[in-house]
Amino acid sequence: MTHPIARIICALALLLAPGALAAQARTPEQVAQAALRAAPVFDGHNDVPHALREGYGNVIADFDFNDTHKSPAVDRDDLGMHTDLPRLRKGRVGAQFWSVYVSAALPEPQAVVAVLEQIDVMKRLMARHPRELAFVTTADEAAAAMRQGRIASMLGMEGGNSIGESLAVLRQTYDLGVRYLTLTHNKTLSWVDAASDAPQHDGLTEFGRQVVREMNRMGMLVDLSHVSEATMMDALDEAKAPVIFSHSGARAVAAHARNVPDSVLTRLPANGGVVMTVAYPLFISEKLRQWNAANAGEQARLKSLNPGDPEAAAKLAEAWRAANPAPVATVADWADHIDHVRKIAGIDSIGVGGDYDGIPNGPVGAEDVTGYPALFTELARRGYSQADLEKISSRNIMRVLRAAEATAASMKGMAPLETPAR
Give yes or no for a contact between 51 and 357, defined as CB atoms under 8 angstroms apart: yes
> In this structure, are residues 191 and 175 in contact, taking their beta carbons and an 8 Å threshold?
no
- As a whole number of angstroms, the distance between CA 315 and CA 389 comes to 47
Of residues 31, 129, 140, the one with CA closest to residue 88: 129
For residue 249, pLDDT over 50 is answered with yes
Answer yes or no: are the C-beta atoms of 161 and 184 closer than 8 Å: yes
State the fold for domain 26-283+332-410. TIM Barrel (3.20.20)
pLDDT band at 74; cut points 50, 70, 90: confident
Q: Which residues contact 363 (CB under 8 A, 6 or more apart)?
A: 279, 281, 284, 285, 328, 329, 330, 331, 333, 334, 371
Rounded Cα gap, residues 118 and 115, in angstroms = 5
pLDDT in tens, 30-44: 999 999 999 999 999
pLDDT in tens, 336-372: 999 999 999 999 999 999 999 999 999 999 999 999 9
Q: How far apart are CA 58 and CA 121, in angstroms?
A: 6
106: Cβ contacts below 8 Å, ≥ 6 apart: 114, 161
Q: Is 312 helix (H, G, I), strand (E, B) or coil?
A: helix
pLDDT of residue 25: 76
Q: Among all residues, which ones are annotated catalytic? A: 45, 47, 158, 185, 226, 247, 355
Question: What is the reported pLDDT for 5?
Answer: 57
Cα separation, 317 vs 305, in Å, equals: 12
Q: What percent of the chain has pLDDT over 90?
A: 91
Burial 117-154 (b: 16+ CB within 10 A, else e): bbbebbbebbeeeeebbbbbbebeebbebbeeebbbbb
HEC profile of 327-373: CCCEHHHHHHHHHHHHHHHCHHHEEECCCECCCCCCCECCCCHHHHH
The per-residue pLDDT for range 76-102, each reduced to its tens digit, is: 666 799 999 999 999 999 999 999 999
Which among 34, 154, 151, 48 has a CA at the least distance from the CA of 93?
151
Query: What integer pLDDT is reported at residue 19 of this predicted model?
Result: 46
User: Percentage of residues in the chain with pLDDT exceeding 70?
Assistant: 94
- What does pLDDT average to over the chain? 94
* Band of pLDDT at residue 13, cut at 50, 70 and 90: low
User: How far, in Å, CA of 100 to CA of 88, rounded?
Assistant: 18
Q: What is the spatial distance between Cα 357 and Cα 369, in angstroms, rounded to a whole number?
A: 9
3-state helix, strand, coil in the chain (%, to 5): 50, 15, 35
Q: Is the pLDDT of residue 252 over 90?
A: yes
Q: 40 and 393 in contact (C-beta within 8 Å)?
A: yes
Q: Which of 317, 197, 309 is nearest to 257 (CA)?
A: 197
In the beta sheet, which residues pair with residue 352?
A: 43, 277
Least confident of 2-6, 71-75, 170-174, 301-305: 2-6
| Crossing angle for the helix pair 4-16 and 18-25, to the nearest 10 degrees | 60
Specify the pLDDT at position 24.
Answer: 62
Name the β-bridge partners of 274.
Answer: 244
Query: What are the boundaries of each domain within the chain?
Result: 26-283+332-410, 286-328
What is the number of other CB atoms lying within 10 angstroms of the CB of residue 199?
A: 15
Listed range (5-14, 72-81, 231-240) with the worst mean pLDDT: 5-14
pLDDT reading at 412 higher than 70 = yes
The pTM (predicted TM-score) of the whole model is 0.93
